[in-house]
Amino acid sequence: MRWLLVLFGSLALQAQEALLSRPEVRQALDFIRANHDRHLDLQVKIAEIPAPTFHEGERAKFMESEFRRVGLKNVEIDGQGNVLGWRPGRTERTLVVAAHLDISFAPGVNTKVRKEGNRWYGPGLADDSRGLAALVAIAEALQAAHLATNRTLLFVANVGEEGLGDLIGVRYLFEKSPYRSRFDAFISIDGTDPARIVHGGVGVKRYRLTLRGPGGHSYGNYGRPSAIHALGEIISRLAALETPSKPKTTFNVGRVGGGTAVNAIAEESWFEVDLRSESPAELDRLELKFHEAVRAGLEAEKLRRAASGFSLQHELKLVSNRPSGQTAERSPLVQAAVWASKATGHVPSLGFGSTDANFPISLGFPAITLGGGGKSANAHSLQEWFEPAEAWKGPQTVLLTILAFDESR
Ligand SMILES: [Zn+2]
């Protein structure tokens, strides 16, 4: 059995190496490199169209026109707002290649891109305007080189990856779209590093906790329970929790609010907490501890203020639930990406992330996330930057991954 695996492994490798000597493959790779500047301009143009989660419409229309321009077939915006464009293969079995439209900024953010030396700044410029530009670059290169594939390729610019979008676009695609029975694998282009292969999804659960009480004057009604004091009590219990570093498991209270005046006992308070783990079992354990902290914090405030006869109500809402799981390292899709990343001169590294690939992975589809090229940092902040050095290697790596995977059955 082991010997057979080695044999198949080396046959696959031979087929992949042979790809690099096919003239039309060389032509597609050269096309991507030669059009680097134009794809960079496209990336900036995309980034300057605002697209906060749930407000992706304008950017979607632009991507729809790009998909048509490069010759993709049956271009449409689906029921969830995702832009779809097809490149038919010899069979209907479909590899989905996606990048997300949305940015993790509130409506009204200034999306103007500014350049300082070789570093370019703009919210969402790398995450994920680079991925969207890479989608177009790959589709264009396939067309220019008349490259035929066995699988049909579905290019998708999807909505709802960031924050409370909760993967709504890719969820729709894999749960409700009329085409889902044809899908057999998924690649998301997100982030920039062509050496990084995300093959596992970090599970994420996010809660919003709201506390409500009687309120009252801070002096006149002293002794009543306070929604803010109880919230602080709960947060301090959370802050003291210990979680394992392996499998990496984390928690964060990222937003708090409540109260109306310094001399009023708070009638209402709330926070949003983000819980994550590479391991579903650890995430469950953390979730239980979180529920326990809420219960114990409320109980402490209740006991202290029992004499007032008032109590607090609480409402706990699960606002986001991204499943965890992984695509095996040995799977043809991951192996195709490892080979492609080496072929473009990188030392590939496998890792976990929280990306659109989480959802298809949770359904059992082979799915990975690859970088769109270039260098970047500070995603999700106004200091997000992008450096275009050798950025063509991003779309080249994804293209080779697609072709190498296409050689597998
Ligand atoms: Zn992203």
Å from CA of 249 to ligand 1 middle: 20
Tens of pLDDT, residue by residue over 1-51, are: 454 445 555 666 777 889 999 999 999 999 999 999 999 999 999 999 999
Å from CA of 356 to ligand 1 middle: 8
Distance CA 137, CA 36 (A): 9
Å from CA of 70 to ligand 1 middle: 24
Tens of pLDDT, residue by residue over 127-141, are: 999 999 999 999 999
Å from CA of 58 to ligand 1 middle: 18
Å from CA of 161 to ligand 1 middle: 7
For 378, what's the count of Cα atoms within 13 Å in the CB-facing half-sphere? 13
Tens of pLDDT, residue by residue over 62-119, are: 999 999 999 999 999 999 999 999 999 999 999 999 999 999 998 999 999 999 999 9
Å from CA of 217 to ligand 1 middle: 46
User: Residue 322: pLDDT above 90?
Assistant: no
Q: Are 397 and 340 in contact (CB under 8 A)?
A: yes
Degrees, nearest 5: CA angle 309-310-314: 145
Tens of pLDDT, residue by residue over 239-284, are: 999 999 998 999 999 999 999 999 999 999 999 999 999 888 999 9
Å from CA of 380 to ligand 1 middle: 9
pLDDT score of 1: 46
Å from CA of 10 to ligand 1 middle: 34
Tens of pLDDT, residue by residue over 183-232, are: 999 999 999 999 999 999 888 999 999 999 999 999 999 999 999 999 99
Å from CA of 299 to ligand 1 middle: 40
Å from CA of 143 to ligand 1 middle: 26
* Eight-state DSSP code of residue 308: G
Q: Is 220 helix (H, G, I), strand (E, B) or coil?
A: coil
Burial 193-212 (b: 16+ CB within 10 A, else e): bbbbbbbbbbbbbbbbbbbb
User: Residue 360: pLDDT above 90?
Assistant: yes
Tens of pLDDT, residue by residue over 157-175, are: 999 999 888 899 999 999 9
Å from CA of 269 to ligand 1 middle: 31
| Mean pLDDT on 140-161 | 97
Å from CA of 156 to ligand 1 middle: 14
Which residues, including other chains, have CB under 8 Å from residue 302's CB and lie 6 or more apart?
225, 311, 312
pLDDT score of 9: 58
User: Residue 377: pLDDT above 50?
Assistant: yes
| Mean pLDDT on 291-305 | 97
pLDDT score of 278: 86
Å from CA of 177 to ligand 1 middle: 22
- Number of C-beta neighbours around residue 390 at 10 A: 16
pLDDT score of 160: 96
Å from CA of 117 to ligand 1 middle: 25
Per the rule left: phi > 0, alpha: psi between -120 and 50, beta: everything else, 146 is: left
Q: Are 82 and 63 in contact (CB under 8 A)?
A: no
Å from CA of 212 to ligand 1 middle: 35
Q: Give the chain's length.
A: 409
pTM above 0.85, yes or no: no
Q: What domains can be seen in the chain, in order of their start residue?
A: 13-201+324-406 (3.40.630.10), 207-321 (3.30.70.360)
Distance CA 57, CA 50 (A): 9
Å from CA of 279 to ligand 1 middle: 21
Å from CA of 29 to ligand 1 middle: 25
| Mean pLDDT on 286-302 | 97
